[in-house]
Each structure stands twice: as structure tokens, then as C-alpha cells.
Amino acid sequence: MQNIVKKAREKAGIQKKVHPHTLRHSFATHLIEQGNSVSEVQALLGHKSPETTFIYLHTAAPNMIKIKSPFDNI
């Protein structure tokens, strides 16, 4: 798997290091950006603790997350 990802990275001209786990991380971040709940992503990734999944909230684009602040209604 690592060799496949490495060859795809080189073919795409990506200079940054990419690993198979990078794809998993990107997938989870995109799911959260698309409005899926942390519990849904947690179940899909097999995380035991929601805190593990919360990591992806920090990397998701803030304007893409559909969480509204209670202050938005004031």
C-alpha cells in the first residue's frame, strides 16, 4: 500500500510526504466538512473514544462545519 501511495504522489507531482494514513485522515476531515457528525465518523473509523475523532474537527475548514453557535441566535 505504501508503494502505491508513493507512486501516486510522485505521479501527481506532490512534494509533500504522503502516507496511507494521510488518506484516512483526509477522508475523515472531508466527512466532517460535509456535515457528518463526529459520532458517525467515529463509528466509521472504529475509534473507541470521541476525543480521538475530535482531532479532525481542528483540521476541518471552519466555514465548512455546520455547527452553529448559540450566540448566532442573539
Q: How many CB atoms lie within 10 A of CB 7?
A: 10
**30 within a domain of the structure (yes/no):** yes
Q: Does residue 55 contact residue 21 with C-beta atoms inside 8 Å? A: no
**58 within a domain of the structure (yes/no):** yes
Q: Does residue 50 contact residue 42 with C-beta atoms inside 8 Å? A: yes
**43 within a domain of the structure (yes/no):** yes
Q: How many CB atoms lie within 10 A of CB 56?
A: 22
pLDDT tops 60 at residue 64: no
Q: Which residues form the domain of 57?
A: 18-62
**37 within a domain of the structure (yes/no):** yes
| pLDDT tier, 74 (very low <50, low <70, confident <90, very high otherwise) | low
pLDDT tops 80 at residue 8: yes
Whole-model pTM over 0.85: no
Q: How large a percentage of the chain has pLDDT more than 90?
A: 28
Question: How many domains, in total, are found in the chain?
Answer: 1
Task: Supply the pLDDT for residue 63.
Answer: 57
